[in-house]
Amino acid sequence: MLALLVVFSIFPQTAMGASFNEGDLSNNHVTVTDSVYDIYATLGTLPTLYAGLNAFHSDHESYMWFHRKATFNPSALPENVNLIAFEHTYNRTVMDELIGKVADIYSENPNAQFNFYVDDLRVQFILQMFVANGLPESQYKVYLLSDGTGSYSIFKSLFEQENSFVSWETYKNEYENRKTLIQAGETDVINTDNNTELQKSMYYVSQYPNVQYWMQFPELLRSNDPRVAEEIKKMNVVKKCPMICLLHCRTKRKRNLLKPLA
């Protein structure tokens, strides 16, 4: 599966007018003197590929759960990567363990910094794992990982048309309202059984200063509503090609990443 996805990522990309940043893996972490932790929670295949490539690159103490078990060989992961609830598909147990791991680290080290890698469609995990645990935004950085086709088709269906700015505001307000309730101590604000409940807010959330949005074809995000077009410019999008990410891996780890599943 990994080899096939990497091959697909080599195909040429044609710029279509949108603005974006070209990114690599060299400086995508919070740089601090205190401990830094990488947390991974992914369900889709492409987000798991992005997460795996980063996990093989990073030396930070890491905790990972992913749904698509055939994306890469977990037994080849570096020693600094710890699997969470690996035997489970997504359910409440997985979410409870992820939330608990962040809470435990933060309790033991209030100065801890986090890098959180998550599917764009599961943007609600930010609220469940970090906002609900009371972490200030200065102590965690989020990397929204493109679902692939879904990232572009959802945007097109919601925001391509004229007069779609009202929808942008609706999904922005929905996210902010949920965040406010959670910060006020409300529980059961998000339905854990529905892991895409806030997916339509993912584009807005990428405007947060502590969020990056990784995708391969950001130029496909276009709107005929000039107000939405202005919002696109505010998104912190980084153009990421999985093949380039692979090239940044160290040689030994690259070999391990490409090991077939047993």
How confident is the model over 87-140, as pLDDT tens digits? 899 999 999 999 999 999 999 999 999 999 999 999 999 999 999 999 999 999
For the domain that residue 105 is a member of, what is the CATH number?
3.40.50.11120
pLDDT one-digit tens code per residue, 74-88: 888 889 999 999 889
In a domain, 43, yes or no: no
Of 49-58, 111-120, 159-168, which gets the smallest average pLDDT?
49-58
In a domain, 20, yes or no: no
In a domain, 26, yes or no: no
Its pTM stands at: 0.84
66 neighbors 83 (Cβ within 8 angstroms): no
- Residue 57 CB contacts under 8 Å (≥ 6 apart), including other chains: 25, 245, 248, 249, 250, 253
* Rounded Cα–Cα distance for residues 35 and 84 (Å): 19
At 258 the pLDDT is 54
In a domain, 238, yes or no: yes
In a domain, 35, yes or no: no
225 or 242, higher pLDDT: 225
* Rounded Cα–Cα distance for residues 195 and 124 (Å): 7
In a domain, 36, yes or no: no
Q: Count of domains in the chain?
A: 1
Mean pLDDT of 240-258: 59
In a domain, 242, yes or no: yes
What percent of the chain has a predicted confidence (pLDDT) above 70?
A: 79
Calculate the average pLDDT of the chain: 85
In a domain, 140, yes or no: yes
| Domain housing 199 | 50-64+76-257
